Structure 1
């Protein structure tokens, strides 16, 4: 039952290339790419993300990636923390198991967008979710696809939390 509480929801955006995508993409891809994005959702004092280790959480800014390159305010949610954790538990058992991670089609950004939709009714910015298809539409992206598909990204939290909601 809702008690009228409202929880701020933020999107943490990390550039995994640390600026290299912006510099090298015109030469390599023939188009400008601003970054190689990893995202997570911050709500209830935790940062939630999906990678090769499944759904994880840590204190905000405590993943191996450090502080985010940018933060987007996604608005507020009336969803109570317990209900959200139940939702995450169901996703962890089905859609977002570790072996379901796929760099292009089912990744951290897919997860962040779905979580944002559940909490606020809005998805994350399309420039993030459209990036894989943009890269793969280039000849260089097609040539690199086999190598890139073997990559698993698992930005671990460094505070000892190996699941979520364990505070």
Structure 2
């Protein structure tokens, strides 16, 4: 690996704490295994998108969600850290500003998908990105939409510091 390369993973968290797996069949009429939040881990930090502050970063597994349910290896990026930070900064100013967040249509999983493809050319698992539409297509999904949209993940900080070096 060159000095600019970094392993890339998607960290997957179940916001329902197992309730989706246990109760979805009876409530939705279809089985879902979790209500997924994702973050991309690269250059020693976890990057994610939320509706409170937009793009955030923290130590891997450092959100209020604790340890991820699953870690998916996406490969290694050869994108230099400073190019990655420029890319994130551009996203933070355009398509992933805090006010653009929508739990079902423009969320952390859309962010993780886009960043994963930028860094590795690979996408995050499709069952994660298709979940909102799967849920909304059920009668109960339409009923719970206002409640679910109030969920946000916090616990990071802005990744845009004056340094062009990866965090330790």
TM-score of the two chains, using structure 1 as the length reference: 0.91
What does 1:12-161 align with in structure 2 at a 5 Å threshold?
A: 12-52=11-51, 53-149=53-149, 151-157=150-156
Shift of 1:26: 0.5
Residue-pair matches, total = 160
Secondary structure in 2 matching 1:64: coil
Alignment RMSD (CA, Å): 1.3
Runs of 4+ in 1 over 4 A off after TM superposition: none
| Distance (whole Å) between structure 2 residues aligned to residue 90 and residue 165 of structure 1 | 11
The equivalent position to 1:164 in structure 2, one of 159, 163, 166, is 159
TM-score of the two chains, using structure 2 as the length reference: 0.91
Secondary structure in 2 matching 1:62: coil
Shift of 1:74: 0.5
| Distance (whole Å) between structure 2 residues aligned to residue 145 and residue 25 of structure 1 | 15
Shift of 1:142: 1.2
Shift of 1:164: 0.5
User: What residue ranges of structure 1 are gaps of 5+ in the alignment?
Assistant: none
Per-residue CA deviation, residues 100-127 of structure 1 (Å, 9 max, x unaligned), is 0000010000000000000000111100
